[in-house]
Chains A and B, each alone.
Chain A
Amino acid sequence: MPTGFEYAPAPESRGVVDIASSYGLFVGGEFVDPADGGSFKTVNPATGERLSDVAEAGAADVDAAVRAARRAYTQVWGPMSGAERGKYLFRIARLLQERAREFAVLETLDNGKPIKESRDVDIPLAAAHFFYHAGWADKLEYAGLTTGARPAPLGVIGQVIPWNFPLLMLAWKIAPALATGNTVVLKPAETTPLTALLFAQVCQQADLPAGVVNIVTGAGATGQALTEHPDVDKIAFTGSTDVGKQIARTIAGTRKRLTLELGGKGANIVYDDAAIDQAVEGIVSGIYFNQGHVCCAGSRLLVQESVAEDVVRRLQRRLGTLRVGDPMDKNTDVGAINSAEQLARITALVEAGEAEGATRWSAPCELPDRGYWFAPTIFTDVSQAHRVAQEEIFGPVLSVLTFRTPAEAVAKANNTPYGLSAGIWSDKGSRVLWTADRLRAGVVWANSFNKFDPTSPFGGYKESGYGREAGRHGLEAYVAAGSED
């Protein structure tokens, strides 16, 4: 018997998922082999083991997918009534719930995120997104999107999503597109294609008409083929700001619509009257949730100087209780870094932080021998000029800066080309609202952080992108704008 309260391993069973040794592309309702037969492997980042080989879609495959989507749009999905479309989305939502455990395990294996998060956050929210949008399908004329006219779909949507919330990002993209009457070609991230392919099976189980959803796996070239395809009416992209800019350049001068959900360097402002223990929890979930692989992460802690020492001390104590390790263990709080490439980027930025004179503190935790890992880390003595205060690290690394007055907090929070998210911690209502008014960010979490809901619009200011996802506002990206001027 242990002498203290050491949590014994509580592994989720891997047996609930059946991973094929290889996967084709999902085009026109069927799994098909890629034209040139290329494939790439997807690995479990927690162990480095190969999970499966996945087809790499080339330009011809993307073209076939777009044609399938166009056909489905003109022949089936476009003409279908909103009420009928909605019923398919309800079916999909239910299927996601029924197979939630399978999805959660697969997501964790492919992504490295803790099973606790895929089980309690990613998969339930993905299902909720389909539920929410299912109900919109026959009520679009009430959404206030157009003046007078019934909102019309755009046609074929090309969607490119990142690896940090693979199924959830798929849901954010596909649910509103389908609810508004569009058909889609979606490219999941190279390192996390498996839940999208399982979702393809869900589409089959739902008897979704062939071609309404097409999934083309691949890397950057596949995404580029999709964004450049002339018969795509709109691109929706979530990912890095650099790639987002490239896509915006690519479609410049065309009539393709574009929404971008890009990077961030979210400020989490802690005033001296904050509910301190909840603020610490908010800071933790703000930057260590999902290994910090979150575009809206609260990666810059702006703490009022008078409480800075106390907050950092509490934060360090709290990080000591974070359990880093096997993502399949139900008690794991921080899982694996998604890829060797991402780990290298985090490591390089952390080294730059140390070189520039910031003080590094990493939680004392044992990291597994295999796979990709990074201990939760805090930088103090950070100034605005440091790279760790400016660049998106996309990992479990928090930079702590201090401020003296509310105006200084706001100025520092806004002093970035990004504008996706921000947090405010204060017990004083008027100060919270004053601050929220002045933050140039699309999502402001006051006395909370990293909360998501299908009804709540998400998206950034400035270089964090444009357009909103989720909520009534998210529908706007998928309907034709009024031509009146």
Chain B
Amino acid sequence: MSALSNRSLRTWLHGLPAVDQVGAEARAAALGTRSIKTTSKAWAIDTAISMIDLTTLEGSDTPGKVRNLCAKAMLPDRADPSTPRVAAICVYNDMVTVAREALGDSGINVAAVTTAFPSGRASLPVKLLDTQDAVTAGADEIDMVIDRGAFLSGDYRTVFDQIAAVKEVCRSNPDRADAHLKVILETGELATYDNVRRASWLAMLAGADFIKTSTGKISPAATLPVILVMLEAVRDWRGLTGAMVGVKPAGGIRTTKDAVKHLVTVNETAGPDWLTPQWFRFGASSLLTDLLLQRQKLRTGAYSGSDYVTED
């Protein structure tokens, strides 16, 4: 990679086809009008639950709070043990050990946000140490943020190098499988769909296993057109390289309806191969509650209420 210059990255990224904002938003809106009913709704709800990275990323997080979240992850609905488990718990790196212990051998992954999340404003050694901490503590997945400042100033090489360096750290725990690297683009700060497309390709070029929209700390977070553009990127990346990269919207997805719209968009853009927790995740906290309410409605035929779903 030593031959890679910022100039060549720039030339390549700016050679990607443009994204027309109005057209992309119209397409996303059209996908959002799909009417998903009965059996397909039930399938979508269970699939969505299984794709959740159940998240708590607060300064006020405590071991107790994280343990409660893990308990919910393992048994989302006490009344119905057939309810799928979520894909992962997503926490700051100092909570990885707590989550790891709480989840045991449940099969639910622990994801840690690192690299001076959410701003990413720290030196590279600090970001790498932050990541190393999480990996050493047993994180299965690393959710890193890109340096948006570098990206917006046109310093694509720095963004690339940081992702590649973090990826190396993800491979550094000899006792465990390599941690999966999710690269957070923070699309709300990238502002344009052209930038979302370029950042998606940049992350994939640098070795991302997943591309993720947002930290959840910036508005707008995940929007359907942003996900559409990212899904087009992973679809085209597969066409070019044969390799699949996952996609994770995070932040702002609170309702079953939103989640289903995303699944429809996955289905009709990247294709059904992406409709598994291996390739698509929802970074969310309150979404699970609504999915469970809707699931209860489908099972019982009556509308449910929040008292019938565990709060954290």
User: Residues of A with Cβ closer than 8 Å to B?
Assistant: 1-2, 4-10, 116, 120, 273-278, 281-282, 321, 330-331, 427, 447-448
Contact = CB atoms under 8 A, between A and B. Distances in A.
Contacts of B263: 5
Contacts of B33: 116, 120, 330
A8 B39 contact: yes
A147 to B, nearest CB: 39
Contact of B37 (A10, A277, A281, A447): A10
Interface of B: 17-20, 22-24, 26-27, 33-44, 46-47, 232, 263-264, 267-268, 272, 275
A447 B27 CA distance: 13
Given A116-B33, A321-B268, A447-B23, A1 B275 contact: no
**7 nearest A-B pairs in the assembled complex, by CB-CB distance:** A278-B23, A10-B35, A330-B35, A276-B17, A275-B20, A278-B20, A427-B18
Contacts of A330: 33-35
B18 A281 contact: no
Nearest to A115: B35
Contacts of A116: 33
Given A277-B23, A278-B23, 16 more contacts: A4-B275, A5-B43, A5-B263, A5-B272, A5-B275, A6-B43, A8-B37, A10-B35, A274-B18, A275-B20, A277-B27, A330-B34, A331-B35, A427-B17, A427-B18, A448-B22
A281 B23 contact: yes
B193 to A, nearest CB: 9
A390 to B, nearest CB: 29
A7 B36 contact: yes
A448 B17 CA distance: 16
16 contacts: A1-B39, A4-B43, A4-B275, A5-B44, A6-B39, A7-B34, A273-B17, A273-B18, A277-B19, A277-B27, A278-B23, A281-B26, A282-B23, A330-B35, A331-B35, A448-B23
Contact of A5 (B17, B24, B27, B267): B267
A125 to B, nearest CB: 16
Contacts of A2: 39-40, 43
A1 B232 contact: no
A8 B44 CA distance: 11
A275 B35 contact: no
Given A5-B263, A10-B35, A116-B33, A278 B27 contact: yes
Given A1-B39, A4-B275, A5-B267, A274 B23 contact: no
Contacts of A4: 43, 272, 275
A4 B40 CA distance: 8
Contacts of B42: 1
A64 B139 CA distance: 84
B116 to A, nearest CB: 33
Contacts of A427: 17-18, 20
Contact of B38 (A8, A120, A274): A8
A195 B272 CA distance: 39
Contacts of B264: 5
Contacts of A5: 40, 43-44, 47, 263-264, 267, 272, 275
B262 to A, nearest CB: 12
Contacts of B272: 4-5
Contacts of A276: 17
Contacts of B46: 1
Contact of A277 (B22, B24, B35): B24
B19 A281 contact: no
- Most chain B CB inside 10 Å of its own CB: which residue of A274, A282, A331: A331
Nearest to A116: B33
B36 A447 contact: no
A204 to B, nearest CB: 33
A330 B33 CA distance: 8
A383 B280 CA distance: 43
A319 to B, nearest CB: 12
A9 B37 CA distance: 7
A4 B268 CA distance: 13
A7 B24 contact: no
A116 B275 CA distance: 25
Contacts of A281: 23, 26-27
A152 to B, nearest CB: 41
A120 B232 CA distance: 26
B276 to A, nearest CB: 10
Contacts of B268: 321
Nearest to A447: B20
Contacts of A10: 35-37
A114 B146 CA distance: 44
A277 B39 contact: no
Contacts of B39: 1-2, 6, 8
A330 B36 CA distance: 9
Contacts of A447: 20, 22-23
Contact of A8 (B22, B26, B41): B41
Nearest to B197: A277
Given A4-B272, A321-B268, A277 B17 contact: yes
Contacts of B20: 275, 278, 427, 447
B250 to A, nearest CB: 21
Nearest to B39: A8
A321 B270 CA distance: 11
A4 B39 CA distance: 11
B232 A277 contact: yes
A275 B17 contact: yes
A181 B198 CA distance: 56
